[in-house]
Amino acid sequence: MNIFNRGMVQSAVAMTILVATHASAADPIKIGLVMPFSGPAAAYGIEARQAAELAVEEMNAAGGVVGGRMLRVVYEDDKGTPQGAVGATQKQISVNRVDAIVGGMGSQLALAQASVTNNRILYVNSAAQAEAITEQGNKWLFQINNTTNMNSAAFNKYVISTMKPKTVAFIGENTEFARPLLNILKRDLAEAKIELVNVSLYDTETNDFTSIITRVRSLNPELVYVADGAPARLVQFWKQARQLGGFRAGAVTPGVVTPTVLKASEGAMDGVISGDIFSASDSAPETQSFVKAFRKKYNADPGKVHLVVYEGVKVIAGAMEKAKTSSNYAALAQAMRENAWNTPRGTLRFDAKGRAHAPYFYIQRVKGASLELVSRWQN
């Protein structure tokens, strides 16, 4: 081969490498969203999709991350079951080849997803609360929502010190989500010398609550505390309760009363007390900036599910920008732990276990199809 031909070959090889490098740099960063887009928790999937789309839209409009790469969300349906969560997560990793995963719309789902993602990919549990999720030692797992203990500490304090019921009945799903809530409530009520007059746990296939509601009504407790993380079941329960005459007072465990739930309940939850890590009514500038952007895109107020998925996507993208990588998960995890993140609810930091600590906790009352802010407590 003469020098001229050798030079042409070398130039062609160099050009191929250059084009491949540029193509790789221009490839979008894929965020895998694993959510229940069908089944009893499908309402959460709708809200998660809205939030992810808004977050990505904002990041891309600002120029993307890691050298101008655009973000793209890839959706997979976990069907609201652990088996579905495993299959959808595996597909995101092996088939869709996403760069990070946001999931966790339920504790059993998050535990299943965490088992698949462990030491394979960056995983952000957006909403599930079970303590066990972040106790597995996975250094690439992070949690946006408060844990069960964090939420219960604030909410139970309000129930006991402000509502001051003498008798309480507990009704909830027989799952890893509700059972820990019950144990914490039992302890807190016992310390306050408040009588727990009834515990009713039902399986996740239940849709007729008539017998449970009738029995609890016969006991006439001053407060009925309901713990169910599936929107369709939660709405069904309160509609049936209202049809049967309702309760003296009602409370719903923190973190599950979303805009979709309120709309579907058609007033059946009016007056119910709940709590959460977010309130669209908070006057803080960072909160109202998020609310304004969400209203502009969807003509509605955002709820907690919107918040935690939005934050999850934004924090992942922010960590990628700071670490200058979308695939070095040790570097990404380090960036997430070492930085403070400005979010719609204030400054967010992750602890050694990857848990975010919410700056505030909000007590809210259902009023029609909206949540009325009762009080804001600093965590």
CATH no. for residue 344?
A: 3.40.50.2300
SS3 61: helix
Q: What is the distance between the alpha carbons of residues 108 and 178, in angstroms, rounded to a whole number?
A: 11
Same domain, 121 and 197: no
Q: What tens digit of pLDDT does each residue of 170-211 get? A: 999 999 889 999 999 999 999 999 999 999 999 999 999 999
What value, to the nearest 5°, has the Cα angle with vertex 158 and ends 182 and 219? 55
Residue 215 located in a structural domain: yes
Among 81, 61, 69, 67, smallest CA distance to 30 is for: 69
Beta bridge partners of 195: 167
Residues 31/52, Cβ–Cβ less than 8 Å: yes
* Contact between 66 and 325 (Cβ < 8 Å): yes
- Say if CB 78 and CB 42 are below 8 A apart: no
In this prediction the pTM is 0.84
CA separation for the pair 108, 130 (Å, rounded): 8
User: What size, in residues, is the chain?
Assistant: 379
Does residue 13 form part of some domain?
Answer: no
Return the structure tokens found at 177. 């989500």
The total of other beta-carbon atoms located within 10 Å of residue 87's CB is: 18
Alpha helices by DSSP H, the chain: 3-26, 42-61, 82-94, 107-117, 148-158, 178-191, 210-219, 231-243, 259-265, 285-298, 304-323, 329-338
Question: How far does Cα 277 stand from its chain's mean position?
Answer: 11
Q: How many separate domains does the chain show? A: 2
pLDDT at 242 over 60: yes
Both 235 and 335 in one domain: the answer is: no
pLDDT at 4: 34
DSSP-derived secondary structure for 256-299: ---HHHHHHHTTTTTT-EEEES--TT---HHHHHHHHHHHHHHS
| Helices marked H in 130-258 | 148-158, 178-191, 210-219, 231-243
- The model's pLDDT over 305-328, given as tens digits with 9 standing for 90+, comes to 999 999 999 999 999 999 999 999
Q: Provide the pLDDT for residue 24.
A: 52
Whether 72 is in a domain gets the answer yes
Whole-angstrom distance, CA of residue 251 vs CA of residue 159: 9
Task: List pLDDT tens digits, range 330-379.
Answer: 999 999 999 999 999 999 999 999 999 878 899 999 998 899 999 998 77
Q: Are residues 314 and 260 in the same domain?
A: no
The range of the structural domain enclosing residue 169 comes to 149-279+362-378
CA gap 340, 336 in Å, rounded: 8
One-letter identity of residue 89: T
- For 33-67, how does the pLDDT look when each residue is reduced to its tens digit (9 = 90+)? 999 999 988 999 999 999 999 999 999 999 999 99
Confidence grade of residue 25 (pLDDT, cut at 50, 70, 90): low
Are 369 and 241 in the same domain?
Answer: yes
- Residue 3 placed within a domain: no
Token readout for 52 is 């992810």
Q: Are strands 370-378 and 360-367 parallel, antiparallel or unpaired?
A: antiparallel
List, for residues 211-226, the tens digit of each pLDDT value: 999 999 999 999 999 9
